[in-house]
């Protein structure tokens, strides 16, 4: 998968990990933005906008490991890729992007209930650039 998030600093209690359910036969690379897919607490890799962001994988999951539960990092600073034609601006919220593992600018007209907010941009970058984002799932902006 392209554009994996790179966790730079774990915040809170070692990144405040939460356990979620994942499909046993699915490969999930380290650094994948994960979204809530179904109840109860089942997550999949982000694949586009309008999703409920849950956290970032800190380890790789393979198709043959039999794992059906993994921890997601919910409080950290991570290097994320800004979507094509987008600019994340210092101090502004960013949300899951139109492409997997990318973030887009979050505006009042694009955010549905703030659930897809990934975090706050810590620098200004654009058009597939990579920049720091403060991730804090428990405290939406």
Any domain includes 2: no
Task: Look at residue 141 in the predicted model and tell me its pLDDT.
Answer: 46
Which residue shows structure tokens 């994996």?
4
Question: Facing residues of 6 across strands?
Answer: 79
Task: Tally the domains of the chain.
Answer: 2
Any domain includes 7: no
Q: Within this chain, do residues 89 and 56 fall inside the same structural domain, yes or no?
A: no
- Burial group, residue 47, by CB count within 10 angstroms (0-12, 13-18, 19+): middle
Task: Look at residue 138 in the predicted model and tell me its pLDDT.
Answer: 66
Any domain includes 23: yes
Per-10-residue mean pLDDT, the chain, length 141? 88 93 94 90 82 92 94 96 91 88 79 74 93 84 46
Structural domain containing residue 63: 14-73
Q: Are 9 and 76 in contact (CB under 8 A)?
A: yes
Q: Which residues contact 122 (CB under 8 A, 6 or more apart)?
A: 77, 90, 131, 132, 133, 134
């Amino acid at each position: 998968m392209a554009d994996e998030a790179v966790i730079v600093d774990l915040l809170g209690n070692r990144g405040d990990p939460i356990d979620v359910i994942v499909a046993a036969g699915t490969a999930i690379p380290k650094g994948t933005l994960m979204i809530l897919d179904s109840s109860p607490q089942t997550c999949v890799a982000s694949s586009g906008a309008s999703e409920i962001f849950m956290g970032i994988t800190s380890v790789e999951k393979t198709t043959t490991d039999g794992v059906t539960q993994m921890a997601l990092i919910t409080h950290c600073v991570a290097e994320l890729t800004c979507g094509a034609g987008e600019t994340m601006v210092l101090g502004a919220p960013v949300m899951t992007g139109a492409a997997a593992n990318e973030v887009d600018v979050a505006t009042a007209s694009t955010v549905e209930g703030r659930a897809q907010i990934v975090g706050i941009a810590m620098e200004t970058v654009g058009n597939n650039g990579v920049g720091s984002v403060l991730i804090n799932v428990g405290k939406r902006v």
